[in-house]
Amino acid sequence: MGGEGDLTCRHCGRPIAVPASRCPWCNQQIMVVCAACKQYTDDSLLTCQHCGAPLQPAPREEIKRFVGVPPEVADLLADRERAHLIASGVVAQYLSEFFFEKGEARTVLVDLFGRLEDRRQEAAALLFAAVAYLVEHGYCGLEPLAEGEGMVWEEIRRWDGQVRSLEGQLARHAGLGLTIAEVLDRVVREEMGFAFEVVRSRGMGLPGAPRQPSVRNTSDRSALLAIVEVGRRAVLPEHEKNSACAETYRAILSFAHAAPERARALAQTILDVLEWFHQFEQNPSLALSRGS
């Protein structure tokens, strides 16, 4: 099979316009629907081309429900099937419960990110909660490098929850040898549709002086809005508000108390990543010093 968008039959070599279980030309079996992510994948491989899970064909009744609908709808339906009570989704839905302060008593998110004043704290809290959830539930790990070099984001076991969630996005980048800062950067870029355009100046400059290009931000949305939207749109299983908030807060608190320095380092890393994108939105030319 060819790459996505460039499918060819491995039996007859002819092009295939739409993923299907059999080649429309030679009628040979070429693909199956992955039971984990409900997408068509090459049936000759050991793992799914999309989610990387060990390849297990979906039952016929599941195929009927997921195949033939737009990818976004298929993802939504699949997420309903495998929904966990993820921290980012709970925090996004009941934000004020996690930014509580009364007298000297305050929640750990207030301690780490300050009072809830704008979308910056909200986005930072959602990312922190997602990391904490993955670590506390044994999906991922944070391993410190040499002093000042950050923490490596490791995969402990494969994520089996919602794909369209911050947890799902973060877990997808685990085990690649990246630091958590690099992973956060990638996730933010992907969710905001990060893009910029270099526009060469056509004006007359001083003789011998190089013309300075201008840069336009052509991203789909702002970084903060993108992260907040992912959190708010995550599919959650049926739950009772108070117990869901209590369970989620316990996980976040356990993560923070297990290694306070790690928690504060993570919080600062998240703020630094979000700050770079804020600065980029104010001055898109920053992208030239960092690449796309």
Q: What is the DSSP string of 23-44?
A: -TTT--B-EEEBTTT--EEETT
Question: In Å, how far are 133, 210, 267 from 126, measured between CA atoms?
Answer: 10, 44, 11
pLDDT grade for 5, boundaries at 50, 70 and 90: very low
Region 241-248: mean pLDDT is 97
Query: Quick check: 146 and 113 in contact, CB under 8 A?
Result: no
The span from the CA of 234 to the CA of 162, in Å, is 8
Phi-psi region of 38 (alpha: psi -120 to 50; beta: other; left: phi over 0): left
Report the pLDDT value the prediction gives residue 49, as an integer from 0 to 100. 86
Q: In angstroms, what is the C-alpha Rg of the chain? A: 22
Q: Is the pLDDT of residue 3 over 50?
A: no
User: What does DSSP assign to residue 144?
Assistant: E
Give the helix, strand, coil percentages of the chain, each rounded to 5.
45, 15, 40
Query: Quick check: 277 and 221 in contact, CB under 8 A?
Result: no
Report the pLDDT value the prediction gives residue 203, as an integer from 0 to 100. 58
Q: What is the overall mean pLDDT for the chain?
A: 87
Q: Is the pLDDT of residue 106 over 50?
A: yes
Among 59-73, 237-251, 252-266, the minimum mean pLDDT is found in: 59-73
The span from the CA of 183 to the CA of 187, in Å, is 6
Q: Is the pLDDT of residue 133 over 90?
A: yes
Phi, psi (deg, nearest 5) at residue 59 = -60, 155
Report the pLDDT value the prediction gives residue 108, as an integer from 0 to 100. 95
